[in-house]
Each structure stands twice: as C-alpha cells, then as structure tokens.
Amino acid sequence: MSRTTDIPVSRVEWKGAVRIIRSAFPPIDLFEDIADPADWSLLISAEQKTNPRIMATIGNLDLVPVDRRVGGSGASYLMAPFTHVSTDRPSRFTDGSCGVLYVGDRFETALFETIHHHARFMAQTKEASGWTSQFREIVMSVDADLHDLRTLAGEPAPALHPDSYAASQALAANLRGAGSEGIAYPSIRNSGGECVALFYPDCASNPVQGRHLDYHWDGERVDLVRDAGSGAVFRIIDLPADPT
C-alpha cells in the first residue's frame, strides 16, 4: 500500500479491550468530576487565578477538539494521552506532538506491548534487577471506523517495522490530516493480537480500572508479572532475551 487512500477502513467494535498504564499517573479531577466538557474552559480560567499550576495537571486541552472531548467517570484514562504529550516521548504513530490512545484487543496483547517498552527503558537506563514500577489495567470499549493494517500481519510493511517508527509516524500524520479516526493494526509484540491507535478520546468509552500489576526486571528482560491484588506471579516465556 503506497497511498493512504489504498488503506481500507473497518468498523472496530471491541468490548473488554485493554490498555495498561503506569500507576504513577493519578486521575485528573477536572475530567472525572465535571462531566460536561463545554464547561472546562471557563473552569480552567477561573482556577488559574488561584492555582497557576493547574495546567501542569490538566495538560494542553487545546490539543483535543471541543466536540471530541469526553468527561465523567474514567475520563482521565481517555483524555490524558491527548493533553499530556511531548516530543521527548514519540511512539509508533506519533512523533509526540499530538496524542494517541493505544489499546489492545485483550489483556495479553496490552501486557506484551507494555512489557516490551518497559524492558527497553530499563535496558537503556541500566536499571538494577528487581520489582519495578507498578502498572494498572484499564478495561474499555472501542467503537470507531479505523484505517485497517491488520491484513498486513506477517508481511514486510514499513509501518509495522518492529523497531523503526519513521514510516508509521509519517503514515499516521497523513491519515490524521485526512480526517482519520485512527489505525487498527496487528500487535507487533503479541502474535495473533490486535491493537488500535485512536486519534481522539471519544473513539473509546466506559473505561474501568482493573488489576494493579508489578513487572520484575532480571537485568536483561521482564521475566515476571505479579498481580498486586492477589499476589499471583506469572512467568513471561514468550519474549526474546534481547528487549531492544
């Protein structure tokens, strides 16, 4: 597929889709408590008069079109990826200048995707072995018309390169500029799994917090995952030894 117009669009409707995030990021009160996004701008303006640091918590709300914003219970999990962005944190489908909500079709997919990226960070920073950052599982629904790369699973496709994001970021920028809702693609880290990269928060709904998880770093890879609630520990056996 050489042009964005060659990519088919498919309706993706997933119940029980999963995103895994670091537990270090707390919910944002504005998104959680004030359900009507139409009120946010006035509330932020008033709050800034007494709390100039409010924007550090909320992020850049202007990055999300007013009619695509979501509020109410769990809204932080949908809004935060779009209001807290940085070119220091690029990913497969963004150079970091705009947000993307990444979601896996099931728990295992989200788990292996996050393990891969956590392992890369741990290796690059030469962290000591041990139990590391805690993560939380967010279960949600996805309902959107997405440009579909899933038929390319197993084929040499630049946008699905396991290490280079140059082609995928360029593709996403072109699709976003053409009005795309996002991209469906085969999981790069969990064979048989599927992922979506959503360009707007309202492409997902009903986010609910699930399990808290701990990842264990053995000095070379993430080898264990612990359910912090039950204490159950699971060994990771499907990842390559080299996390990079």
Summarised one tens digit per residue, pLDDT across range 184-241 is 999 999 999 999 999 999 999 999 999 999 999 999 999 999 999 999 999 998 644 3
- Within a domain: residue 243? no
Cα-Cα-Cα-Cα dihedral of 30, 32, 34, 39, to 10°? 50
Q: Name the pTM for this structure.
A: 0.86
Q: Predicted confidence band at 243 (pLDDT cuts at 50, 70, 90)?
A: very low
CA gap 241, 71 in Å, rounded = 42
- Within a domain: residue 242? no
- Within a domain: residue 23? yes
| pLDDT per position as a tens digit, 96-120 | 999 999 999 999 999 999 999 999 9
Domain housing 104: 4-235
- CA-based radius of gyration for the chain: 18
How many distinct structural domains can be found in the chain? 1
- Within a domain: residue 94? yes
CA gap 114, 75 in Å, rounded = 21
Pairing of strands 182-186, 130-148: parallel
| pLDDT per position as a tens digit, 59-96 | 788 899 989 999 888 888 999 999 989 999 999 999 99
Q: What is the model's pLDDT at position 25? A: 64
